[in-house]
Structure 1
């Protein structure tokens, strides 16, 4: 696979700074959620939708520093998720999995190596599939702020390579230093944010920018996308779109094969590589997550569990309740009741 160096000793012209988080107050923010949608909305200035794939009650924890031009966060999730994400515009996101994580993450259908760093530009959707008991450090930096910092340090960032990349191959020393610094900013125990003033936040932002430039200076961007991975990701995306377009139908694997013009074996391979799940498992999870979202709003519209189940193609209520409890750790009626309050 071709790789491209990202940083060279060439100056770039400076430009005025403007942060996408300017409308939100700087400082430390923390949140705990017991629902994947609530958790997805807790991350500032992101457009996200999460589907729960792992079985059991969900708990999501987020610790986030909002700085003038940078967002630094630690995200912990108890259950495996499919995440559809879009970072705020004119920025870059860098994702560094916690070294304690034992299972890999998939980004746009590609397995992410345990010693790599994920990256995506702002304003473009990307998909993650994260395992149970996942922990991730994230840094989102406004592009101009990174460019100005690179100019001050006499470095040039290859924006084209960075924009195309999904994975950065990073030297272990730089990655280890970055993880240690982020762990200090976002410890597992509750951070103490008292006494932080504007000058402290500016200094913190400068330190994070230096960490990112150190990573880029010792990394190569893997911009190669295998055609087979891209094709399989497209098959999975079309399957999801078809199921969501026909929510009241229990779409079968043979029906999907016919609609997508692929064999059953090809469909199986696509889902296993992109999602780490079989088509049947994923299709059921899509519908159950859709039913859960509907249940959280149903009581306000005078609807009950049976109405929602039928809306999502579950015609056997006892089996629906069994599958629902297995995935989410609670009954459909519990979700309906909680949504009413």
Structure 2
């Protein structure tokens, strides 16, 4: 796993400590929808997932999370308009999976190409890493491990430990994914049209029972395709090294030539990998990384100028235009908004 390459963890919380800080699944029942115009705020909407987002595509961010908590089970739909690097980790006692309902391009999940035909296993000892594409609508399910085991038969413990040891992607036949996808879309459609259902214990218990059955069936019949993921895994390694290199040299702008030399690959190979897997080019990627660095620093910097200079932007007019194109607002607006929250 490349979590350490893709994100520098806060000094006070290392990856292995996440399960200590993460709250358990909620015991009660609730149904709510939360929208967001900020990708960092979006990352915090799913409680207990310990997520961090970095925006890579340009434009104002729009997102929402519609979620249902039922007696220790968490179902949700999450929409994100821009492409992101997502990082997170769940408690060891929670099994979480997801399936894309809609997306504009393929993504990369833990080194494997992601599509609507993929089952995402978010659980795992080292956390998950996800390059999520633009216009992604993800359906997710988080369950208590012990409850799921009751639905998996005698070999359940061994199977669940194997499948959910590390976060990864599973190739699934359409016949296996369709029932799960239909359950996740149908249940939310019914709850939107008839919210009173959440106050009916029999209905909620029935829904929980069906979800547990579907998840158990899917994980019991899991398959994988190592050949299909090998090329994407190599690209994912390269991206991790690229991010680490950029973050270590924030005081001196990194060029495409610098990146090629560091990775020991040709410019053509670098261009192909970024275009094929991230749907962008290396120049735009490097600029996005530096702009995200500025945005993070605006939380603690004394001024916008200080943050811009720290990340190598020395033409303030050009920087402001690039920042607004990337995030949909001027850096001064972000700075004032973040200050007002402190």
Q: Name the TM tier (shorter chain).
A: 0.7 to 0.9
Of 190-199 and 237-246, deviating more is 190-199
Q: Pick closer, same or farther for the CA change 1:53–1:192 going to 2, 3 Å.
A: farther
Match of 1:282 among 267, 285, 296: 285
Question: 1:254, 1:87 → 2: CA distance?
Answer: 38
Q: Does residue 160 of structure 1 match 2:162?
A: yes
Q: Compared with structure 1, are the counterparts of its residues 201 and 156 closer, same or farther at alpha carbon in structure 2 (3 Å cutoff)? A: farther
Could you tell me which residue of structure 2 aligns to residue 101 of structure 1?
103
* CA–CA distance in structure 2, aligned partners of residues 248 and 24 of structure 1: 48
User: 1:272 aligns to what SS in structure 2?
Assistant: helix
- Which string of whole-angstrom CA distances, capped at 9 and with x for unpartnered residues, describes residues 202-248 of structure 1? 44322211121233355423355755433332221111012112223
The 5-angstrom pairing of residues 77-226 of structure 1 reads 77-98=80-101, 100-151=102-153, 157=159, 159-161=161-163, 163=165, 166-187=168-189, 190=192, 193-194=195-196, 195-196=198-199, 200-223=203-226, 226=229
1:267 aligns with 2:266: no
| Structure 1 partner of 2:296 | 293
Correspondence for 1:254: 257
> Residues of 1 paired with 2:227 and 2:162: CA distance?
13
**Aligned mates of 2:77, 2:44 — CA distance in 1:** 15
Unaligned runs of 5+ in 2: 1-21
User: Do the aligned partners of 2:30 and 2:70 also contact (CA within 8 Å) in 1?
Assistant: yes
- 2: distance between equivalents of 1:40 and 1:186? 21
Task: Mark the runs of 5 or more structure 1 residues left unpaired by the alignment.
Answer: 1-18
**Whole-Å Cα distance in 1 between the matches of residues 129 and 113 of structure 2?**
12
Q: Are residue 335 (structure 1) and residue 334 (structure 2) matched?
A: yes
Higher share in helix: 2
| Contact 2:25–2:73, Cα closer than 8 Å, also in 1 | no
SS of the aligned residue for 1:220 comes to: coil
- TM-score relative to the length of structure 2: 0.81
Root-mean-square deviation over aligned CA pairs: 3.0
Alpha-carbon distance in structure 1 between the residues aligned to 2:282 and 2:148: 41
Are the equivalent residues in 2 in contact too, given 1:76–1:133 (CA < 8 A)?
A: yes
Residue 310 (structure 1) shift: 0.6
The structural deviation recorded for 1:134 is 1.5
Determine if the alignment matches structure 1 residue 307 to structure 2 residue 306.
yes
How far apart are residue 102 of structure 1 and its match? 4.1
Deviations 1:240-282 (A, max 9, x none): 0121122232111222233333333333344334433222211
